Every structure is written in C-alpha cells, then in structure tokens.
Structure 1
Amino acid sequence: MAAGTVAELARALREDLAFFTECVRRYTAAGFGTPDTSEQRSWRNSWPPLLAALERAGLGGLRLYLEYGTPGAARRIDALLLGRRPDGVLVMVLVELKQWGSAVPVSAGMVRRSDGEVVVHPVAQVASYRAFFTDWRPADAPTLEIRARVVLHNASQEDVRALGPSSAGNGPVPVLGREDLQTDGEVLAGLLGCADLSPAGGELVRSFEGIEWTPSAGLQQRIAQSLFGKPSFALVGSQQHAYVEVRDRVAALAADPGGPGTVITIQGGPGSGKTLIAIRLLAHLQHAYPGATPRLATPSGTLRAHLLDATAAHPGGKELFPSAHTLDSAAGRARVVILDEAQRLAHDRHSPAATLERLIARVPIVVVFLDERQVIRPGEGFTVEDIRRIAHRHGRRHRAHELRESFRCRGSKAYTDWVDALLYGTPAPWSGPEGYELDTAPDPFSLQQWIDTSTRNGILARTAAGFCWPWDRAVRKNGILKPEVRIEHRDPATGTNRLWQAAWNAATRVTTPDGVVTAPPSRLWASHRGGHQQIGCVYTAQGLEYQHAGVIIGDDLTWEDDRWVAHPERSHDHTLKDLPPEEYLRYALNTYRVLLTRGADATRIYHVDAPSQQMLNRLVGRRTAVAGSPPVRHPR
C-alpha cells in the first residue's frame, strides 16, 4: 500500500500531514475495502515505533512496504523489508506488528490477549505468510530468502516470554518487545533480521515487484486432498460432461486469448457434487493453465471458512478462495473464475462483493454453480435464465449443464426427491432406499440424545433449526452460551410439559477461562469439535454436509388444510420476518430443504407444531410417538 525506503517513509510519516489520508486511498484502491477507525488507529500506533527502530538500526536504505497485499488482496503483511545479502541474494523480512501489552497461549496456535479475546498466535500468523511466499514463488522468480519477525512494541520482555515458544513452520520466528526496540545499531539490526543486509538496487527491486506470485504445481492437488481426502475423485455422468466442457473452453481460451468469452452454468441439487467438481476444476486449471490465474469464489462465508480451514496447513490456498470483499481485485487478474453457491449472490450493484454482472463483463470464462431452490433471502439468487441474459448482454456465449446424480444421503436421489415432494409438491410416504435412515423424533430430548450418541460413536452429527428463536450472540462470562432455543414439549405419556433448551451456534469461538474451547465459531460449527452441542441454522449449514442430521422445523411453517402455511411473524430472521406470508413461504421452504438435505447417512426430524409432526410421522411410518421411545425401524 505504501512503499519506499525506510528513510523516505519515516520522513513522510513525520512531515506529511496527508500521509495517512493517502494510505487510506491506496488501501481502498488495492481492493481491501475502506479501513475502519481501529485499522487506521493501529497504523498510527504501530508504524512510528517500527520506523524509528529501523532508522536507529541504520537500515534507512532498505526498501519497506507497509500493508503489503498478496494476490487478490487475500491477506496483508503489516510490513515487508527488502534487502540484499552480501552474495547478492534478495532477502524478504516479513514483520507482524502488534499493539498488545500481553498475551498468553491457551491452545496450539492461539493466545488470549489482555482484553480476553482469543486470537491466532502472532508467530503462527507470520509463519503462514512465510509459507505463502514459499508455496507461491514461481520458478522464474529471482532467488529469495524469506525471514520473519514479530514486533510487540508495547510488550515487556516478561510479556514476550509469556507467549511461549517462538517457532513455527520452517524454523524459529523471533519475537521482539519494547526493550528490544530500544537498543540501537548493529545489535538492533540483528534482532530485526537485517544485520547482513544492504539496500537492493533498482533492478533487484523491480525484479521483486514484477514477480507474479502463483501457486506451486502441487498445491492444488494437496488442497483437494486436504478438503475431501479424494485426490482421485471420480466424475461420472453429467459431472464428467460439465467438467469436460469447462476444461475444453479454457483450452480454447489459451489457444485464442482474444476469442469470445463463455459463461457456463452448472445447476445441481443437494449432494450433486457441485463443490467437489469446482475443486477438481480449480486443481486441473491451475496445473494445466497457470496463466489463467483461476480462482474459486463463493458468496457463502460459511463455505469459504471451511475451504480455508481445510487448507490451513497450506497457507497459499487462501489466495485461491477470494472473499466477497476481495473478489473484485482477484477478478482483475483472473482469466477463469469459478463461483460456487452462486444462488447466494446479491443483486445489489453497490455491494462490496463483485456481482455476477461485473464478473461476466471482466472475466473471459465464468463458471457458475448454483441451485435455484437454495435461494434463502430476498435480493439474492440468479436463475440460469438470468445468467444467460447477462452473458448475451456482454457478448459471451452461454452453456448450461444440469447435474442429475446425488452423492449425499447414501447416494439416494430418492431421498432428495422425497424432500422436494414434501415441500413443493404432494407429500408421499417414505419408501426407501435401503441404507438411508429417515425418521422423526418424538421430542427434542430424544433428538438431542441421538445426536449426542452419534457423536460419542465418532459420527459427525449436528442439529439445525429454523430461525424461530432469538439470537443475540451473547456469551456468559464462564464460557457458556445462552440457551435461546427453547421448546416446551407436552409429554403424551404423562401429560406434563417439559422445557428443552439449547444454544445457537456461537458467533465466535467460545473458551472457558482456562482456555478450553466449548464452542467453535459459527462458520465452523458443522465440522469442529463441540458443534453438536449448539443448534445450527441455514446460514451455517448451507453448502456443507454431516453424517447424521437432526432437523427442528419451527412454527414459521406449519401443515394446515393439506398445504404448507407460512407465519413470518414467528421468525426471528430480520431479513425475512416482515415479508408477506406468500413471499415468506418460498424462502421458508427453501430453508428447510437445505436443512433436510445435509445428512449423508441419516436424518431425523422434529416439528414443534403437533399436527405438522403427526403428518410427518404418517409419512415415515411412525405411530404417535411416546417421549423417550426408541426409534422405529421400518421394512424397506
């Protein structure tokens, strides 16, 4: 964002009143968004002590980059120093700046700051940057040595020692505190990792700034394996046809870069393999056509969080999955953009996310994966026909594919067909197939017991519900979430009412005072330890799957007079609750379709409305249930 010699930037910082204003402008222009007041405050607090230390160490001639952005603006390095070793080799020194006074480790790679917030250990953070540059360094780049430092300019030596071991990844990462920065000369230069460096000449600086950072050949294959454990995932039927179509279009683009662009829509229902195909395409295109700079983007923050979490061991993966806020910047270099869960795209042209219209206008090949029946909010969602019209408006060819297979629910398209009939057509009795377990739960207690038992047996099991209870994201001081999902159930055996209650998925990671994680952050609720103890919603479940799915249908959707009736006034989703019932109905049906199709091996349903539950009981063959009774097994 800001670049120059240390001396030049230090002088600008001292003398130029417009320096920070210009930094804000460049930050926004680089695709990072608009820096908030806390971000700008951190610049004003951290840059002066760093620059003062660098000048005192006699390093004024080294090249310095502040807020250095990686490709696609996926991450920013607080400071990057560039110098030359005596043998002429370029050296990058990556610096992570923190204003903290103190922090203590609470788990592997995590620390608790003095304000109680649990965050990534700064050593792990800067080590991930080092790993990025290692993994993304192209073969034709100049030889580079990469060093890393953490600077806690407000921390005492005791605070620094409290952080624990300072090694991660490829060797130690020194952590410097306030007293370290108060030394000077060669000693300070050594602490900063620059004692043997001299200024790089203009030619070396230009060679560094001209590097096109791209993933190494094996990164994509490792990402695919990390995500799914299926590096040789076999494509079948319509999946193979869609894959070959994209592959051939990119080959044609490589042969004729000036040819007309193409937009390819690939529509598929739950479990049709959309995300797996997207990953497979990304791996192939990056390996076969690295010049295409392919990117896989999604407007679903939950899905992106899982992509990044699955590739955490390979930090270079982050640039391949741009966020909604950085997609515009990433698309500026990409020749191919793959959009997964595209039904979550907003129509708002002024959104910080790059809309489909802008992508199609700028990128030669756009591949769009979507499911029209997974639109869950007003202002979101494109149909295949919408995309065709946009493509033609921009002179792009349009090709459409439909994925007919299902690989979730034990490969049972019969189950997804049953769900579609239940919600959009004429509900039919469940009649198979063998191997997939569908049942209703007589009460929320037995549903939770099933989830808990599954989890103890090593099965990934989760319960998700309609947004029919408040969620204020509050956490008690002892690390226990507020049990806001509350259901009063009348026990038919005793005639008494029993209160069942549970917490929604946590907004952020929740830990006890001694550092034990009691709840993962909401975007990782579906896969991380402890998630089975919270209730998920459509926003944390969409795009994902788990083995056993518990589903709580709220009273915003009830079965009355042989049809589904919507009750938006019973919703706590602020984006939906004020809609008229006939409009709300569409989003409610789509929401429960998502929740009902997450289970790979089994689904169990509980409806809070007794008549609606009785209808579901009849469809799956269950008699009127008694609380606590064992699940009924039906012959197939």
Structure 2
Amino acid sequence: MIVYSGTKREFLDDVRSNVIADKVETEVLRRLNRNSPRNEKMSWENSLQYMSQVLWDEDIPASAGVAIEYNLPMTNRRVDFILTGKDKDRQDTAVIIELKQWQNVEKTNKDAIVKTRFQHGVKETNHPSYQAWSYGALIQDYNETVRQESILLQPCAYLHNMDFGHVINDPFYDAHTSRAPVFIKQDAIRLANFLKKYVRYGDSDNILYRIEHGVIKPSKNLADALASMLDGNPEFLMIDDQKLVYETALNLAHKAQTGQKQTLIVNGGPGTGKSVVAINLLVEMTNRELLVQYVSKNAAPREVFKKKLIGSKKKTHIDQMFKGSGAYTEVEQNQFDALIVDEAHRLNEKSGLYGNLGENQIKEIISGSKLSIFFIDEFQRVTLQDIGTNDSIKSWADELSSTVTEVNLSSQFRCNGSDGYLAWVDNVLQVRPTANTTLDDIDYEVRVFDDPNVMRMVIKEKNRLANKARMVAGYCWDWKSKKDKSDMDIVIPEFDFEAQWNLTDDGSLWLIAENSVDQIGCIHTCQGLELDYVGVILGDDFVVRDGIAVTDARNRSSNDRSIRGFKTMLKRDKELAQSLTDEIIKNTYRTLMTRGQKGCFIYSTDKETLDYFKASAICSTKQEIKSISSPFDGLALNIVSIEEANPYVTHVPIFDIQAAAGGFSDSQMADCNEWVELPDYIRVSEGMFVAQVVGESMNRRIPNGAWCLFKLNPGGSRNGKVVLVQHRSIEDPDHGGSFTVKLYQSVKNFEHDEQVNVKVILKPDTLSFGYSNIELSDDSEELMVIGEFLSVVS
C-alpha cells in the first residue's frame, strides 16, 4: 500500500503549494487509520522539501513516478520515498530512498550498526544504507510482480541535514554503502545524477501501480525454513531492530569469550521475530565454532523443529542443538559459549518431571553459559509456574556477576504486519487499554462466529491450502479421550458440537501432523509456533459482564496443570490468587489469538461474551462454507450469498464474464447474488469484483483460467493498464465473446491545438504466438472499459 503517489510534476506542485505534508497526513489517517505525531509531520515537511530540490533537475523526467510511505509487504514498516521510471536500457526501475533527519553519527564495531541522536538520546540503529537495501530486498522477496516482471530496485539513502560524511561512509560500512550509496547535505547534485542514471525516462508503464498491486507471495514459516537456515541460507532477511538485536548478540558473544559474563534480554511481543532471530543466532554462532544450544521450556517448538530437520541432519546433532530448559541443573559453570532461550517467560523454578531437580532455571542457564540470551514477552506467561520476568533475570544476572544488556523487538511480521490487530487483542481482552477498540481499517482477517460448527468448517477449508489452519481452545474441558479414544472432550450441546483435544499420538507435533485439523489444540501445543489461520474457542474461564472482562480459574479443567496450586493459594491470599490467574487466563487467550499469520476466527461459549466480541470486531458472524459449483469451478475462495456476505469489507461480487448480459453497472454489482471472500492481503474497497480470465493472450501476467480482481469504472488515464473491456464488434480470440482483457493504449493526435483520441489499441501480453493487437476507433458508445485489473486471486 502506498500512502501518496503521483508524478514528479504533481509532487513538485504539492511541495511548492505547501500542501505535501498535509496530503500525506490525510492519507495516513484515511489508509492507516492513525493520527500522525507532530514530529512525523515535521519530518515530512523537512525531508520532502529537500527531495523536491533534488528533483528540480530537468533531466529527471516530469512523468517519473513518486511514491511516499510505501508499506512493506507483510510488515508494519514503510519505505520513505520511491522514484520510478525507466533507465537508459528502458528497463522498469524503482529507486528506494531512505530519508533521514540525522545531523551526526558515530561508528560502532557492529556490522551495519551506527549510533545517532533520537528524541530521547543517542541510540544504536541500522546504517541507512543497510536499511534501504534490506527494504528493497524484502520487496524483491515478497512481491512476485516485481520479481516476475523484472522491475529493478535500486536503494540509496539521503541524509539531507548531515554536513560531514566521513563516518557514515567509513570503509567499515563499504559492504552496505556499495549496494545502497548514502548522500549527505552537500550531495544534492550527486544524488540527482544518481537518480538520472536509473530514471532516464518517465513511468510510462505504471510501475508504481504494479508494485502497489503486485501479487504478494505467502509468508514463510520458520519451521519450514529451518533446515535451509541451518545449511547457511538466509531465509529470513532481518530488518531494523531485528538486525540490531542480532548484531548486539554477536558482539556480546565476542565479549563473553574474553572472560566477562554477559546476559542479553530481548523484549518482543507476538510476531516480532523472536524465534527467527534466535535461530539465526544459533546458526551463526555454530558456524563460528561456538558451543551453543537453543533452549525452550515448551516442548512443542523443539519437537516441531526436530521433525522438520529429520533427513537433513544426524539425530544426535539435532538433539544437541535443541534442549529443554531443565537440562542445565548439573552443568559446569560457563560450560557453554551461549545459551539462546526462546519463550523465556515460560521458564520454571524447579526442573524434572516432578519438579524436584535444580534450584532455579534462570540461575542455571546464566551460570552454565558465558552468554545467556533471553527472548521474552511477559504477557505470554500462561501458568502459575512461569517465573520468566525481566526483573528475575536481572536479579540472577547480578548475583552471578553477568553484565546485562536489554533491547527490544518491535517490527511486526505476524498478523499480516498489523500492529492494530495486536492492540485490538490487548484491548478486547482488557490486558491493557488501547486506541484500537474496533477492527476498522485493520488489514487482518478476523471473524466472530455464532456457531462453532461453522468456524470448524471454515478452518478446514483454509487448511486445505497448506495444512496450516487449526482450532485451539482455553483449557476448560477435561481430557477424557486420553483414557478412552472414543470419548469426546469439548462438547457444546446446544450446537451438537463435539471434538477431541489433540491426540496423544501426535503429542507436541499436533500442529504439523497430517489430519490433526480434526482435533483441537491448547496453549501447550501451539505456543512458540505459528499458523496461517487459527480458530479460538473461548471457554467459561473468560466471560464479559456489562462490558467488564471477568476471569474465573475455577471454570478451567481439573486436568489443567497451568493453574496447579490455585485452590491452595486462594485460601492463603484470595486477592493474589485472583490477580495471578486473571493474568494467566488473559495471557493464554492473547497468545492463542496471535498464532495466525493471516487470520484469527473467534467463538465464545458465553452469549454475552460473544456479543461483546461481535460488537468490538464489527464483522459478519454468519459465515459458512458453500459448495462451489459451475460456473465457478476451480475457485479456491469462499463463495457466499449476498445475505451472508460482508460487502466491500471482506467480500466482493463475482461474475461469470461470458454469462454477463448488458455489461456491468453499479446496480448489477449491488444485486449480484454471489459474493467471494478475498484473501487477507487485499484491502477491500467499493467497486471491486472478481471474474475469470480465459485463454493465453495475457499469460505473462494472468494464467489461463485465473480468477482475477478488478476495479469497476476506473478513473484517470488507462494507458498501460490491464483492463476488462466490452465492445460489440470485437470477438475475443480465446472465448469468442465481446469481453476481453488486454493492455490498453490510446493513440492521440493534435487537432486545432487540442489533443484528441484517434484510436484505442488493445494489446495482448503473452509468451504465446498467434495473438495480435485489437485496434478500434475511439467510439465511446461502442467501447466500454468495465474494470481495471488489480491482481490474480486464485
């Protein structure tokens, strides 16, 4: 998504009119649903003035494209400025420009890390060349349109307030400045020359449009990529604070080898990449011949990772890399070079099956390693036995003479990169108040269901795509099927709903096991792992009364060991017991509701609570799977009736082009009986519709039979865009109908000093032979441009 886009000429006009910052601020509010702080608006006013001065160079074409604040795919990060056009070889090019207000920087001994002054003091941060390059690499990685259509991405950085560039261009950073040159205040002409090298001609082929509406490939899953990572392949590009944490950890590992014991605390919420950084550190430290292990209290991530590595590594090697948190009760002091503790909030005091070994897991890990790294989110402590807190880690580090460094992860990679969704979860569960009281304009799929059977059907439908959709629940039902495999555990009689907890046969591998979608998981089998879609059943341990969240641990199953000792504690200190279990219950549902990369579906056993979630979510609750039949065979998306759809929020109408009579119209769109649910990465808007494109005439962009998303009645210039058109006298070479999808070109001449359309050329875009242009005289009564192609959706 691009916040602001236009041509160079339009951008310069907006800057000269002193409206550019206002326009960007307005679009941030409209598109991102957030207000811009004063310092952010001031940075736009300042930086964009400097960019306009660079772009005044007449050799930079007026028709070059300008984009401001482009949202990186699948993250919450944005590119400051993009200039698009064609280079001397007429190759489509986008120059990514990272803009900085910095005046001074300090060199560090960490790769791609510098120090500079921010609002609250001097801090370490990414070198702007690395930041610009990593953003470009991320676009290249996720945006299939950029890759398939060979759009060249060229990063650079412009520090327009900096007078001296010797530090930012220090040879230590050559690896990054060579890929993304950095320009300072005196380099405005050099920057203009650099831009002219890559943007010699204007953006005549809608490069910005193609980048913004490009096909985004699915997010990677850490478990799936693990084997490749351990072979040294960079599967996950680390950006911003991830890179800073990674380099900080490697620097501390070096310090720890000299004799000074080190402890690193990494704070990060769900989806901030804690496990990705942890695994990258495991790989790099192993390559540096350090004795290092990955540690987790929860068995599920360890066992899933081990399962994924079978066949690529020896079992003994795998077992040595991944350990439980209770494995260090008898290790010698500083036996390991580094211990990397993921989900450190789950650490316990005692170890062993009966909790009778060791003294304290935090103490034993710090004692046993020269460098101990704790990845932690205190809001994911989910049992009364969890002792992992920042304070407890710092206390033990101080006692064991280990120097503490504390850093934060904030870049969001789960939940479609939506900070808004995570804030909504905290607000709706009343973990903490946030401004996100509804899901308005949040780009993440959330549905609240009246019927758990319907939610189960939707989860199964989603699971067919990649075996990455599961249902989970709060531990409010006894595990009867553990003893009797024919018995049902989770029973909701009023809906005739029955299900079993995850089978003992699957154990910690439930989340990736084949056919395990039929069972329901709990916090212990999914924490530390991720899915594409998660369906969450809230039990009676969390209900809402008159808008207030009320938790009651007594409504949890007696089999639930996470609140073991609660009743005894209740007798000794009722207030403390209720406070601790309230935190545990809310944290449990917070963790469950943030397992999905693409979407979260919700059902509550309590009617008032269900109504509360529906009001907060503002989304349809009567979704159901409908059998797909002709003429929509082959469409891997949910189709529902208009009564069941959430029009232009999650659903758009779907048409059979060849059956469409009399063209398309707003009224026809509104009366359409069949509506389709769009994938979660698409921001739905009025006028969108889905139709099938048949044939090979556009196979460079659109495969034969693909279902595509269009925008009705597109305004502005159509030149260079792919459009759906209807004309009485044409016959599409693939299906013979009067509708066709082609590249649109308008040929214009000057008559009496006015530019007039002469003819329209509809061009194929194909790797196949036998397709020719369709040329039509410009006759508005005959030719109807129905819609503009946005993307392939199935």
TM-score (norm 2): 0.46
Aligned to 1:373, the other structure's residue is in SS state: helix
State the match for 2:261 in structure 1: 261
The Cα shift of 1:503 comes to 0.5
Tell me whether 1:447 sits opposite 2:452 in the alignment. Answer: no
Aligned to 1:322, the other structure's residue is in SS state: strand
Question: Which letter does structure 2 place at the counterpart of 1:307?
Answer: F
2:378 equivalent among 343, 350, 372: 372
State the match for 1:179 in structure 2: none
Native 8 Å contact 2:510 2:521 kept in 1: yes
2:228 equivalent among 225, 229, 232: 225
Question: Which letter does structure 2 place at the counterpart of 1:364?
Answer: K
2:646 equivalent among 628, 632, 635: 632
Task: Give the direction of change, closer, same or farther, for the CA distance of 1:229–1:634 in structure 2 (3 Å limit).
Answer: farther
Q: Distance in 1 between matches of 2:440 and 2:447?
A: 12
Aligned to 2:482, the other structure's residue is in SS state: coil
Task: Give the direction of change, closer, same or farther, for the CA distance of 1:624–1:603 in structure 2 (3 Å limit).
Answer: closer
Task: Give the direction of change, closer, same or farther, for the CA distance of 1:248–1:615 in structure 2 (3 Å limit).
Answer: same
Task: Give the direction of change, closer, same or farther, for the CA distance of 1:604–1:404 in structure 2 (3 Å limit).
Answer: same
The Cα shift of 1:457 comes to 3.4
1:488 equivalent among 489, 493, 496: 493
Tell me whether 1:433 sits opposite 2:442 in the alignment. Answer: yes
2:296 equivalent among 280, 298, 323: 298
The Cα shift of 1:295 comes to 0.9
Q: Distance in 1 between matches of 2:548 and 2:402?
A: 42
Q: Distance in 2 between matches of 1:616 and 1:229?
A: 44
Q: Distance in 2 between matches of 1:287 and 1:310?
A: 20
Q: Distance in 2 between matches of 1:414 and 1:262?
A: 35
Aligned to 1:231, the other structure's residue is in SS state: coil
Task: Give the direction of change, closer, same or farther, for the CA distance of 1:393–1:458 in structure 2 (3 Å limit).
Answer: closer
Native 8 Å contact 2:553 2:581 kept in 1: yes
Native 8 Å contact 2:225 2:235 kept in 1: no
Q: Distance in 1 between matches of 2:503 and 2:529?
A: 17
Work out the number of aligned pairs and report it: 388
The Cα shift of 1:525 comes to 1.0
Task: Give the direction of change, closer, same or farther, for the CA distance of 1:248–1:574 in structure 2 (3 Å limit).
Answer: closer
Question: Which letter does structure 2 place at the counterpart of 1:446?
Answer: V
Task: Give the direction of change, closer, same or farther, for the CA distance of 1:438–1:317 in structure 2 (3 Å limit).
Answer: same
The Cα shift of 1:608 comes to 0.7
Native 8 Å contact 1:545 1:598 kept in 2: yes
Task: Give the direction of change, closer, same or farther, for the CA distance of 1:453–1:223 in structure 2 (3 Å limit).
Answer: closer
Residues 452-490 of structure 1 show CA distances to partners (whole Å, capped at 9, x for unaligned) of 1112333511000001111034355xxx5522100133x
Q: Which one scores higher on RCO, CA 8 angstroms, separation ≥ 6?
A: 1
1:592 equivalent among 563, 579, 589: 589
Residues 240-283 of structure 1 show CA distances to partners (whole Å, capped at 9, x for unaligned) of 111111111112333x2xx2211000111111111111110011
Tell me whether 1:602 sits opposite 2:599 in the alignment. Answer: yes
Aligned to 2:234, the other structure's residue is in SS state: coil
State the match for 1:347 in structure 2: 349
Task: Give the direction of change, closer, same or farther, for the CA distance of 1:547–1:222 in structure 2 (3 Å limit).
Answer: closer
The Cα shift of 1:222 comes to 8.9
Aligned to 1:240, the other structure's residue is in SS state: helix
Q: Distance in 1 between matches of 2:648 and 2:233?
A: 34
Native 8 Å contact 1:481 1:503 kept in 2: no
Task: Give the direction of change, closer, same or farther, for the CA distance of 1:284–1:551 in structure 2 (3 Å limit).
Answer: same
Task: Give the direction of change, closer, same or farther, for the CA distance of 1:252–1:623 in structure 2 (3 Å limit).
Answer: closer
Q: Distance in 1 between matches of 2:225 and 2:329?
A: 26
Q: Distance in 1 between matches of 2:338 and 2:482?
A: 41
Task: Give the direction of change, closer, same or farther, for the CA distance of 1:294–1:557 in structure 2 (3 Å limit).
Answer: same
State the match for 2:404 in structure 1: 398
- Greater strand content: 2
Task: Give the direction of change, closer, same or farther, for the CA distance of 1:363–1:419 in structure 2 (3 Å limit).
Answer: same
State the match for 1:382 in structure 2: 388
Native 8 Å contact 2:476 2:541 kept in 1: yes
Question: Which letter does structure 2 place at the counterpart of 1:469?
Answer: W
Q: Distance in 2 between matches of 1:574 and 1:631?
A: 41
Q: Distance in 1 between matches of 2:231 and 2:272?
A: 15
Tell me whether 1:244 sits opposite 2:247 in the alignment. Answer: yes
Q: Distance in 2 between matches of 1:284 and 1:454?
A: 36
Q: Distance in 1 between matches of 2:466 and 2:256?
A: 47
Q: Distance in 2 between matches of 1:331 and 1:632?
A: 61
Residues 189-239 of structure 1 show CA distances to partners (whole Å, capped at 9, x for unaligned) of xxxxxxxxxxxxxxxxxxxxxxxxxxxxxxx99955268996342111111
Q: Distance in 2 between matches of 1:252 and 1:626?
A: 56
Matches within 5 A, 1:102-117: none
Native 8 Å contact 2:480 2:488 kept in 1: no
Tell me whether 1:234 sits opposite 2:237 in the alignment. Answer: yes
Aligned to 1:463, the other structure's residue is in SS state: strand
Residues 128-172 of structure 1 show CA distances to partners (whole Å, capped at 9, x for unaligned) of xxxxxxxxxxxxxxxxxxxxxxxxxxxxxxxxxxxxxxxxxxxxx
User: Which deviates the most, 533-542 or 375-384?
Assistant: 375-384
Task: Give the direction of change, closer, same or farther, for the CA distance of 1:457–1:285 in structure 2 (3 Å limit).
Answer: closer
Q: Distance in 1 between matches of 2:287 and 2:273?
A: 21
Q: Distance in 1 between matches of 2:620 and 2:300?
A: 38
State the match for 1:131 in structure 2: none
Q: Distance in 2 between matches of 1:618 and 1:227?
A: 46
The Cα shift of 1:374 comes to 0.6
Question: Which letter does structure 1 place at the counterpart of 2:396?
Answer: I
Question: Which letter does structure 2 place at the counterpart of 1:596?
Answer: M
Matches within 5 A, 1:79-98: none
Residues 354-381 of structure 1 show CA distances to partners (whole Å, capped at 9, x for unaligned) of 6111221232110011110010111213
State the match for 1:611 in structure 2: 608
State the match for 1:554 in structure 2: 539
The Cα shift of 1:582 comes to 3.5
State the match for 1:277 in structure 2: 277
Q: Distance in 2 between matches of 1:597 and 1:229?
A: 29
Question: Which letter does structure 2 place at the counterpart of 1:317?
Answer: I
Native 8 Å contact 2:467 2:514 kept in 1: no
Q: Distance in 2 between matches of 1:275 and 1:524?
A: 18
The Cα shift of 1:627 comes to 8.3
Question: Which letter does structure 1 place at the counterpart of 2:542?
Answer: L
Aligned to 1:457, the other structure's residue is in SS state: helix
- Greater helix content: 1
State the match for 1:57 in structure 2: none
Question: Which letter does structure 2 place at the counterpart of 1:602?
Answer: G
Aligned to 1:335, the other structure's residue is in SS state: strand
State the match for 1:543 in structure 2: 528
Q: Distance in 2 between matches of 1:471 and 1:545?
A: 24
Native 8 Å contact 2:328 2:365 kept in 1: no
Task: Give the direction of change, closer, same or farther, for the CA distance of 1:533–1:222 in structure 2 (3 Å limit).
Answer: closer
Question: Which letter does structure 1 place at the counterpart of 2:618?
Answer: G
Native 8 Å contact 1:459 1:548 kept in 2: no
Rg larger in 1 or in 2? 2
User: Which deviates the most, 230-239 or 292-301?
Assistant: 230-239
Native 8 Å contact 2:440 2:618 kept in 1: no
Question: Which letter does structure 1 place at the counterpart of 2:447?
Answer: D
Q: Distance in 1 between matches of 2:486 and 2:377?
A: 34
State the match for 1:33 in structure 2: none
Matches within 5 A, 1:136-285: 223-225=226-228, 231-254=234-257, 256=258, 259-285=259-285
Please, which runs of 5 or more residues in structure 2 have no aligned partner?
A: 1-222, 571-576, 626-642, 650-683, 685-794
Native 8 Å contact 2:541 2:554 kept in 1: yes
Native 8 Å contact 1:299 1:344 kept in 2: yes
Q: Distance in 1 between matches of 2:270 and 2:648?
A: 25
Q: Distance in 2 between matches of 1:458 and 1:307?
A: 18
Question: Which letter does structure 2 place at the counterpart of 1:327?
Answer: Y
Task: Give the direction of change, closer, same or farther, for the CA distance of 1:452–1:483 in structure 2 (3 Å limit).
Answer: same
Native 8 Å contact 2:328 2:368 kept in 1: no
Task: Give the direction of change, closer, same or farther, for the CA distance of 1:228–1:372 in structure 2 (3 Å limit).
Answer: farther
